[in-house]
Amino acid sequence: MDDLRRPSVLDNFIAAVQSAATVISGAPAAQRPDPASAARKAGGADLSADEKRHAAALMRVNHVGEICAQALYEAQALVTRDARLRGVFARAAAEESDHLAWTRGRVEELGGRVSRLVPLWFAGAFAIGCAASVLGDRASLGFMAETENQVEEHLLSHLGRLPANDRISRAIVEQMKTDEIAHANTARANGGVDVPAPARLLMKLAARVMTTTAYYI
């Protein structure tokens, strides 16, 4: 009976496809409270048209980053044979889903739009996640940790680039940064190994292409 209740590879694949459709469609809703609720109650801030466009573009980049994170975790959860690690990836994906909802909402609130290349970003990140997972769970976890380290740096740079009085966007980015640090620590605690320097460099270059493109498209 236990075997009958255990999800099969096909079950996991179908679940991954359903999750991908939800992410790409923009349907995910946040499960946690809005981290910018206090800033919203305070009335936000008056931003110029240029500041709104710039902030919306930065939050669009962050939204794309969360699309990629969802794809990576879905791929890693699909490939691993360790049910416990599948849960680790699933919990991280759930928090990233909150990020998706927060960033998308903020982009639209600022009068912007999400990237037109969302399906492409998701597909590319999913393929990378599968490739990392094929190397084994420890390598996959190491890739997760390094990804989150680089995302943390990226979010920190955005805190320096967002308009100083855009307290709403800043509150969202701060919470995202806190979550990414926790994800990296979780990956290392579960046995993640360091990613080789050449791979780290390639990851940085790929991220630069993504962030530059997503700022405009």
Q: Which domains does the chain have, with CATH numbers?
A: 8-22+46-216 (1.20.1260.10)
Q: How far is CA 208 from CA 116, 151, 162, 190, 211, in A?
A: 18, 11, 18, 28, 5
To the nearest whole number, what is the mean pLDDT of the chain? Answer: 86
The confidence band for 155, taking pLDDT boundaries of 50, 70 and 90, is: very high
Q: What is the pLDDT of residues 108-150, one digit of tens each?
A: 999 999 999 999 998 888 988 888 888 899 999 999 999 999 9
Q: How far is CA 40 from CA 44, 86, 129, 131, 162, in A?
A: 5, 36, 36, 41, 17
The larger pLDDT score, comparing residue 183 to residue 23, is at 183
pTM: 0.86
Q: Any idea which residue has 């600022």 for tokens?
A: 110
Alpha helices (runs of H) in the chain, residue ranges in sequence order: 2-5, 9-25, 37-41, 49-79, 83-109, 118-134, 137-161, 167-189, 197-216
Rg (CA), the chain: 17
Among 94, 191, 93, CA closest to 142? 191
Using CA atoms, how far apart are residues 127 and 35, in angstroms rounded to an integer?
31
Q: What is the pLDDT of residues 46-96, one digit of tens each?
A: 899 999 999 999 999 999 998 888 888 888 888 888 988 888 888 888 888
